[in-house]
Amino acid sequence: MKEFTRWVMFVLGLGLLLSLGALPVHAETEGHFDRTLSVSGPVDLEVETGSGSIAVRAGGPGKLEIHATIRANSGWHLGGADAESRIHALESNPPIEQDGNHIRIGHIEDRELTRDISISYELVVPGDTHLRSGSGSGSQTIDGIAGPVDASTGSGSLRISTIRQEVRARTGSGSIELNAIGAAVKASTGSGGIRALGVAGGLTASTGSGGVKLEQTAAGDVDVETGSGSIELSGVKGSVRVSTGSGSVTAQGEPTGHWRLRTASGSVTVHLPEQAAFDLEAHCTSGHIESTHPITVEGTISPRELHGKVHGGGPLVELNTTSGSIRID
């Protein structure tokens, strides 16, 4: 009986050890590499990572600092040694290429080397830097460089601020936040909001689902589209084309070009200068139209259809909602 009991305990213990050994390992090896590159004049920088974050900020002239963190989550205990060896290989031979002031970081031909491994970069660069950055999955923050900036990620947020030249920002899923941009902006996300404040130029923005907010500080055309979400524009001066499937639309500024604001479901409100001169076409299927501006009406007067001129007319302001009201202040 004692022999049988010992045998049972042995089998149970062995089974427990095997089951524990098969559990995923969630915390794996971490590695690092740091480099400082000497540069002179404007820097042309390319950064890419398959999975990991990218942070770029302006520092002093003449050098570019690279701080990288390598992490692995192999998933199974038997993969730990292989992941560790690949991390050591990346530490000893970092993916950094330099040709004068053209610098390329993160380009790795051997995809097996980065299997189940993420590399995150923190870069301190000269202020006069042009940047192209891309991540398969990971967020990015970029601050204080001259630009232009072209940033993209398959999944993750983008936060870009204090850029003197043009900005392009794209993410498959995630929010985009832009602040103090000195030129035109193009931003798109499959799912997420777009917030662009202090933009000294035009904006082209699109999101499959999410709101859009723009504060413009210099003239430029605006083109915004969202499948579902509200749109809020302020300080705009130029032509405006806005469309949302579901959400309210609010725009404040000077109509120096054609304004076309549309929503399938939601209100439309425009705030225009008291002495603004423009042609007006407003239509709502369900709701009403209000205006504090004196309008010389053309055609038949209707609570849901309004055509006319304000202060003799000018650029066309076209407002349309299927379900909601329209107000012109």
- DSSP assignment string, 188-221: EESSS-EEEEEEES-EEEEESSS-EEEEEEE---
For residue 310, tell me if it sits in a domain. Answer: yes
For residue 185, tell me if it sits in a domain. Answer: yes
**178-220: per-residue pLDDT in tens?**
999 999 999 999 999 999 999 999 999 999 999 999 999 999 9
Bond preceding residue 148 cis, omega within 30 of 0: yes
3-state secondary structure of 47: strand
Mean pLDDT, rounded, for 48-61: 96
For residue 244, tell me if it sits in a domain. Answer: yes
For residue 245, tell me if it sits in a domain. Answer: yes
Lowest mean pLDDT among 69-73, 99-103, 266-270: 69-73
For residue 195, tell me if it sits in a domain. Answer: yes
Full residue range of the structural domain in which residue 187 is found: 175-329
What are the structure tokens assigned to 61, written together? 């002239």
Q: How many domains does the chain have?
A: 1
Mean pLDDT, rounded, for 98-126: 94
**Tally of CB atoms within 10 A around 148:** 16
Strands 43-51 and 102-105: parallel
Mean pLDDT, rounded, for 225-235: 97
For residue 296, tell me if it sits in a domain. Answer: yes
Mean pLDDT, rounded, for 234-263: 97
For residue 113, tell me if it sits in a domain. Answer: no
For residue 92, tell me if it sits in a domain. Answer: no
Q: Would you place residue 114 in the very low, low, confident or very high pLDDT band (cuts 50, 70, 90)? A: confident
